[in-house]
Amino acid sequence: MRYKDYYAVMGVERDAPQDEIKRAYRKLARKYHPDVSSEPDAETRFKELGEAYEVLKDPEKRTAYDRLGADWKAGQDFRPPPDWNEGFEFHGGEFTGAASEDFSDFFDSLFGRDIPGGGFKRSARPSFHARGEDTYAKILIDLEDAYSGRSRAVKLEHTEIGSDGRPSVKKRTLNVRIPKGVRQGQHIRLAAQGSPGFGEGEPGDLYLEVEFRPHRYYRVEGKDVFIDLPVAPWEAALGATVKVTTPSGKVDLRIPPNSANGRKLRLKDRGIPAKQPGDLFVVLNIALPKADNEAAKAAYAEFGRAFEFEPRADIGM
Amino acid sequence: MTSRETKTTILTGTILEEEVVLSLGELCRASRLSAERVIEFAEEGVVEPIGGSPESWRFRGVNLRRIRCAQRLEEDLGVNTAGVALILDLLDEVEQLRARLGRIES
């Protein structure tokens, strides 16, 4: 287990007053909130921030954390000293609840399940017949799945409270047909696959939030898909027909003569399929062969002599 | 049901944002909110019901996404309901502008 420096995560000094911690949290939360942030690592940063704030906003947890001492470094191997919270009275400071499952082992070891006052909030079990809760999970799928509508095995984990009142992790695998045309951020609703109902109540629904697995060549923006295609200088200059692998199969792409680097070629309706399908954009990326032998050097020299080319004329150099 | 059967059953889902229409009760269950709270969200424009009175309201699936995003923003950033409605509208606008920018640059 690694030590976490909550003060560093929040960018405040160890002696910062409570109101400064709150201001720092608000500021960073606006910056890294996954719903509004465009930072690539927003989700991870936001989780770390939530965990740090959970501890530092509560004077009792903060004092307990401070008692570990100031000599620890972030990432250092950590075991809580056996007596670190001895005789320390917690009043069960409020948990924000929602995100607490995501907190680190480090947090759990200090304030987790078995520590008095660190108890996680559990909703009381309804005694009558009641419909089960709707549940949510994120799934990673390949872009091609959204094109073909094929089915995929989806592995899910959820926490269940056993008869002894202790939480345990249950795993299950569902075979789900990915609806054709589904896009990043959309939800697939699976009726009656959520939490079981109580008594004779019906089970809730399961919502799967779709995320595309990052791909080496494809980028997705809404319904549109982008491919960066390396081309030789002569293909761009003279025009060519090249084979391109797209999520819906191979196509012969005609590159028009005199194409500049970065030119986007649009293949209409070959983006993510839907009633109004997206487009596929092939972005030309001119790759220069290396002049690493005599023949190549001679060819480049000949190339230069054939043009009166001033590449920096536009910028007056 | 044997485990063999569970493995071969293929579940077919629906895309919430495009195909699903929810009643007020269904939206409350899915967002774990009281009807009063959902009505408040509707008054501030966080969600947009179709139909006259709450009993006959229908919500397009995208409203569930908006309401869950609204809950997160309220909890995490301390924004009030009117502020959340504004943020959601601005986020939609940013998304549209980005899409337009992508088309212009092509």
Say what percent of chain B tops pLDDT 70: 89
Q: Which domain holds residue A143?
A: 135-212
- Among A50, A79, A111, the domain-final residue is A111
Contacts of A98 (CB under 8 A, 6+ apart): B75
Q: What is the pLDDT of residue A78?
A: 78
Residues A119 and B57: their CA atoms lie apart, in Å, by 39
The answer to whether residues A163 and A256 belong to one domain is no
- Which CATH number characterizes residue A22's domain? 1.10.287.110
Query: Among A116-125, A261-270, B25-34, which is the least confidently predicted range?
Result: A116-125
Interface test with A, best of B3, B20, B22, B76 (most A CBs within 10 A): B76
Residues A213 and A143: their CA atoms lie apart, in Å, by 7
- Which CATH number characterizes residue A162's domain? 2.60.260.20
The answer to whether residues A202 and A166 belong to one domain is yes
Q: What is the mean pLDDT of residues A56-74?
A: 84
Closest Cα in chain B, distance from residue A187 (Å)? 5
Q: Is the pLDDT of residue A138 over 90?
A: no
Kindly tell me the sign of the dihedral angle through the C-alpha atoms of B61, A223, B106, A268. negative
Please give the residue of chain A at the shortest CA–CA distance from B10. A175
- When divided into structural domains, chain A yields a total of 3
CB B67 within 8 A of CB B31: yes
Q: What is the pLDDT of residue A6?
A: 94
- Among A212, A243, A268, the domain-final residue is A212
The answer to whether residues A228 and A298 belong to one domain is yes
Q: CB–CB of A186 and B15 under 8 A? A: yes
CB A110 within 8 A of CB A179: no
Q: What is the pLDDT of residue A3?
A: 87
Q: CB–CB of B13 and A36 under 8 A? A: no
A313 lies in a domain? no
Identify the CA nearest to A246 among candidates A260, A267, A230, A263.
A267
Q: Is the pLDDT of residue A298 over 90?
A: yes
* Beta bridge partner(s), residue A226: A219, A281
Q: What is the pLDDT of residue A79?
A: 75
Q: Is the model more confident about A85 or about A151?
A: A151
CB-hemisphere CA count at 13 Å for A165? 8
A228 lies in a domain? yes
Q: What is the mean pLDDT of residues A126-142?
A: 79
A120 lies in a domain? no
Q: CB–CB of B15 and A207 under 8 A? A: no
Q: What is the mean pLDDT of residues A128-157?
A: 86
Q: Is the pLDDT of residue A5 over 80?
A: yes
Please name each of the domains of chain B with its CATH number: 19-104 (1.10.1660.10)
The answer to whether residues A185 and A228 belong to one domain is no
pLDDT digits (tens, 9 = 90+) for B85-106: 999 999 989 988 887 787 676 5
| Sequence letter at residue A271 | G
Q: Does B37 touch chain A (CB under 8 A)?
A: no
A126 lies in a domain? no
- Grade residue A100 by pLDDT with cuts at 50, 70 and 90: low
The answer to whether residues A222 and A206 belong to one domain is no
pLDDT digits (tens, 9 = 90+) for A233-249: 999 999 999 999 999 88
The answer to whether residues A153 and A243 belong to one domain is no
Please give the residue of chain B at the shortest CA–CA distance from A194. B30
Q: Please give the model's pTM, rounded to 2 decimal places.
A: 0.68
Q: Is the pLDDT of residue A80 over 80?
A: no
- Among A172, A190, A212, the domain-final residue is A212
Q: What is the pLDDT of residue A61?
A: 87
Q: What is the pLDDT of residue A89?
A: 59
